[in-house]
Amino acid sequence: MKRTDAWSDPRHVQRLRRRIDAIAARLPRPVTFMEVCGTHTHAIAAAGLRRILPPNVRLISGPGCPVCVTPVDYLDHALALAARDDVTIATFGDLMRVPASRRRSLERAVAEGADVRVVYSPRDALALAAENRDRRVVFLAVGFETTVPTMAAALAEAEELGVGNFLLLCGSKVIEPPLRALVQDPEVRVDGFLLPGHVSVILGSDAYAFLTADYGVPGVIAGFTPVDVQLALLALIRQLVQGEAVIENRYPRVVSAAGNRRAQELIARFFAPADTRWRGLGAIPGSGLVLREEWAHRDAARLPVDLPTSVEPKGCRCGEVLKGVIEPPACPLFDRGCVPEHPIGACMVSSEGTCAAWYRHERHARQAVAT
């Protein structure tokens, strides 16, 4: 068997299931873990891992989807920019269908005549700007530390090539402040974190030391196969049984202790921390990234536009889903008007959204168990 196959081997999954059951039986109380990566959410749902956990171990989804945590006012701002005659919006595809205020979206803006292009990287947006010097090309810079270095690299290239019409509408976020907010939120009550694999490639495992040092909460960095996730959960359960709280790296084939220093330097060169709002979590100090003052000429937020009063979709409980306070079926709109074909909330739109994962992978399985 190839090494790559071993990470999804059903026999290995069953062996790990029995090990998890055995050690979880020694837990003094029921525990709740949270994954904070949208890719983890979909990988866990697709493999059915939540359904094979012992009854005293609960795994909930947190704010790991960058599109989902982007607040409505950011989308309203993007739509206002798209309405300008001299602006082309460049965006990742997930943002196209996310409802802004009054159920408007970038997809609808295209139908109304706006110039909005789907790109696969910030560098694609830069190429678009180089080809259309008579227009301002605004890249919707939404993401976590995984994608921010690519934004910084595109900015560096734009400066080198003299492409002055390449701009960013900053909406990126960093992972430490929301983790602190979640630990301190009495409504959430998380006993440990399944830490993101992709973000950790950039940050390194040492970046999470604050969880144990300041709060005594363990965390384990995990990959994305069923075996990766199970090994991480096993490590978290073992720590609680033994009364420990450390940061473990169970994804060492990709993640190092120090992370990617070059990527970190690129981020620090172009971006500075700033207070920002998250869907579901509200305003969190220092949790966003804005352009440093020396790069202010690249900031699309300085273009004059008329911004509406932002309005959340009525009845949508995406914010509570992002905090792990409720599971998607508890939202009155889930599968009752809010479906992937006609989404009302951001959690149903994004390929990393929790509601989308439940709709695709968990919905029928839960119904079968109930009947």
Q: Which residues, 6 or more positions from 262, have their beta carbon under 8 angstroms from its beta carbon?
A: none
Average pLDDT over residues 309-326: 91
143 and 285 assigned to the same domain? yes
End-to-end CA distance of the chain: 38
| Mean pLDDT on 240-245 | 97
Same domain (yes/no): 322, 294:
no
Domain identity same for 200 and 85: yes
Average pLDDT over residues 189-203: 96
The pLDDT of 339-354, averaged and rounded, is 89
Whole-number pLDDT of residue 370: 41
Same domain for 263 and 194: yes
Pair 66, 142: CB distance under 8 Å: yes
State how far the Cα of 66 lies from the Cα of 89, in Å rounded to an integer: 18
Rounded-to-integer distance, Cα 230 and Cα 225, Å: 9
Same-domain check for residues 145 and 173: yes
Q: 40 in a domain, yes or no?
A: yes
Tell me: do 134 and 119 sit in the same domain.
yes
Q: Does 285 reside within a domain?
A: yes
- Asked, for residue 371, whether it belongs to a domain, the answer is no
User: Do 328 and 302 lie in a common domain?
Assistant: no
Would residue 171 count as lying in a domain? yes
Domains in the chain, number:
2
Identify whether 191 is part of a domain: yes
Q: What is the DSSP letter of 297?
A: G
What would the mean pLDDT of 59-88 be, rounded to a whole number? 95
Residue 230 has pLDDT above 90, yes or no: yes
- Mapping DSSP to helix (H, G, I), strand (E, B) and coil, where does residue 35 land? strand
Asked if the model's pLDDT at residue 308 lies above 60, the reply is yes
pLDDT in tens, 131-151: 999 999 999 999 999 999 999
CATH number, position 44: 3.40.50.11740
CB 249 within 8 A of CB 255: yes
Relative to beta strand 87-91, strand 116-118 is parallel
Which tens digit of pLDDT belongs to each residue from 121-134?
999 999 999 999 99
Query: Distance (Å, rounded) from C-alpha 295 to C-alpha 216?
Result: 39
> Percent of the chain beyond pLDDT 70?
96
3-state secondary structure of 298: helix
Percent of the chain with pLDDT strictly greater than 90:
85
Q: Are residues 37 and 51 in the same domain?
A: yes
Average pLDDT of the segment spanning 233-244: 98
- If one counts every other C-beta atom within 10 angstroms of the C-beta of residue 226, the result is 23
Q: Between the CA atoms of 322, 328, 331 and 334, what dihedral angle is there, to the nearest 10 degrees?
A: 120
Nearest to 69 by CA among 350, 260, 285: 350
Q: What average pLDDT does the chain have?
A: 93
Residue 227 and residue 201 in contact, taking contact as beta carbons nearer than 8 Å:
no
Task: State residue 365's pLDDT score.
Answer: 62
Q: Is residue 246 assigned to a domain?
A: yes
pLDDT in tens, 14-40: 999 999 999 999 999 999 999 999 999
Together in a domain, 123 and 220: yes
Q: Looking at the domain assignment, is residue 249 inside a domain?
A: yes
Tokens of 4: 């790559």
Q: Which of 291, 313, 335 finishes a domain?
A: 313
The verdict on 202 and 99 lying in the same domain is yes
Q: Given this model, what pLDDT does residue 366 score?
A: 54
Domain span including residue 298:
1-313
Check whether 367 has a pLDDT greater than 80: no
Residue 191 shares a structural domain with residue 276 = yes
Mean pLDDT of 39-52: 93
Specify the pLDDT at position 369.
41
Averaged pLDDT, 3-17: 82
**Encoding tokens for residue 199?**
């973000």
Check residue 262 and give its pLDDT: 97
Report the residue count for the chain. 371
- Tell me if 369 is assigned to some domain: no
Residue 88 has pLDDT above 80, yes or no: yes
Among candidates 120, 132, 124, which has minimal Cα distance to 163?
Answer: 132
The predicted pLDDT at position 363 comes to 77
Give pLDDT tens digits for 157-188.
999 999 999 999 999 999 999 999 999 998 89
Residues 180 and 325 in one domain: no
